[in-house]
Amino acid sequence: MKNKELRYEERLGQENLLPLIFKMALPAIAAQFVNLLYNLVDRIYIGHIPGIGTEALAGVGVTTSIIILISSFSAIVGGGGAPLAAIALGQGNLERAGKILGNGFLLLIAFTLVTSSIAYTFMEPILLFTGASENTLSYARDYLSIYLLGTLFVELSTGLNTFINIQGRPTVSMYAVQTGAILNIILDPIFIFWLDFGVKGAAIATVLAQIGSATCVIGFLCSNRATLPLEKRYIKPDLKIVASIVALGISPFVMSSTESLVGFVLNSNLKIYGDIYVSALTILQSSMQIAGVPLVGFAQGFVPVASYNYGRGNTQRVKNCAYIALAIMFSFNLALILVMMLFPDTIARAFTSDTRLIDTVSWAMPVFLGGMTIFGLQRACQNMFVALGQARISIFIALLRKIILLIPLALLLSRIMGVTGIYAAEAIADGTAAICCTLIFIWQFPRILRKQTRPEKT
């Protein structure tokens, strides 16, 4: 019975590596692209609302920092718990893997209660702090107050989806995300334009879409199709399990949540120069998300493979996985960023018809995305550290890019270069962090593998 239960994840240690990684990654990339449509479709429709598009886009853009911060808590479970569960599966320890999933589920519920309560209680001062102005506050408040109703479904769908992937079922994971995104695409124009709910309509559509996605994820994990199911006997607090999830998950959390902190800093500084620069940042960050999605999706493909084989003690297979990740993530990211930098006006027109805003994005995008040209290196190295359970290294790298580099640079360069300096700070921080991360990986990766002395199971 045990061999039958493990039939899916055993592929992670047996199939040819390159086809296996692509088999795992492509559905994850597709799922991430579809998931990105949640935000992009909202912003595209909102940016084209007659008469108020530019101000409404700035208002919704301000809420992005808060939404990212709240959803970042799901990364503790998805980015910390799932690799640990994959390592446990590689070791044949199904009980530990089940406890990790069960405790991850409890953590997501706890995160929802805490973050939603705080966001509702202090909504207006938080929005003003993050860059909302008198002209954009009402749009930000309308969107966020409704969006928060779906927080639990966001946490569950994003936090538990990676547990489907580590079972060797990336297609199921993709379908769960696609369900929500398709609902969002269909419902957005209905609620925004046909029912004339405006910004509130975009939020309603998003919440309904998130419910659909979460239902698919939970439905699979509670079914007999799951080789690692969500079982009632494991849904009880285990402090040691929780501590291990949080310890490793802090790095993905910091990676995600610092985007929120940066949004606070950038928006509040850009507001001084005018709402149009906040609107431009919304489009620039959307472009960065488009570039980052393939990297996140590919990481979801190779991390379970690396974690599983690390758990089995197959260090050569882990090495080969790292080489593939570095080569593919760097080259693909470089090509995509260069295209965006060469054709910024094309991207801007997808979000707005305001010629002044298009012109602003056109000159700012090459400045903003310059450092992203080599960012594929950081994504590959940092996710490999997460896959191998190296929490402290991952946390440092995550803090380096946004906290140590970007925020001080944004504050300093804004005084020296004005609004251009705020955009340029992102590029300098991204490029510097990518170089440092790669050097750390070259130094630490062989050391980590040498410590893994457990013989491979046959």
DSSP state letters, 200-235:
HHHHHHHHHHHHHHHHHHHHHHTSTT-SS---GGG-
Task: Provide the phi-psi class of 232: left if phi over 0, else alpha when psi is between -120 and 50, else beta.
Answer: alpha
Whose tokens are 């939970």? That residue is 218
Residue 35, pLDDT score: 62
Number of residues written out for the chain: 458
**Contacts with 252 (C-beta within 8 Å, 6 or more apart), sequence order:** 75, 76, 78, 79, 80, 386, 394, 398
Please state, in angstroms and rounded to a whole number, the distance separating the CA atoms of residues 390 and 271. 39
| CA separation for the pair 379, 245 (Å, rounded) | 21
Give residue 298's pLDDT.
86
What is the Rg, in whole angstroms, of the alpha carbon atoms belonging to the chain?
Answer: 21
**Nearest CA to 456 among 316, 348, 338?**
316
Distance CA 310, CA 92 (A): 13
Alpha-carbon gap, residue 104 to 261, rounded angstroms:
25
Contact 38, 206 (CB under 8 A): yes
Query: What is the model's pLDDT at position 3?
Result: 42
Contact, 206 vs 184, CB < 8 A? yes
- Residue in 120, 199, 105 with CA at minimum distance from that of residue 161: 105
pLDDT of residue 38: 64
Tokens, residue 179: 């369900």
The whole-number pLDDT of residue 400 equals 86
The pLDDT value recorded for residue 432 is 94
- CA angle (299 as vertex; 381, 401 as ends), nearest 5: 45
Residue labelled with tokens 């879409």: 209
Task: Of 176, 208, 155, give the one whose Cα is nearest residue 32.
Answer: 176
**One digit per residue, pLDDT tens: the chain, 458 residues?**
344 444 555 666 667 788 888 877 777 677 667 666 666 777 777 776 776 767 777 777 778 778 888 888 888 998 888 888 888 887 788 888 899 999 999 999 999 999 989 988 898 888 887 777 777 788 888 888 888 888 888 889 888 988 887 787 777 877 887 788 788 888 888 888 888 788 888 889 888 988 998 999 999 999 888 888 888 888 888 899 999 899 888 877 877 777 777 777 787 788 788 878 888 888 888 888 788 878 887 887 888 888 888 878 888 888 999 999 999 999 999 999 999 999 999 888 888 778 888 899 999 999 999 988 998 999 899 889 888 878 678 778 878 887 889 889 988 998 899 999 999 998 999 999 999 999 999 998 988 888 765 444 43
- Is the whole model's pTM more than 0.85, yes or no? no
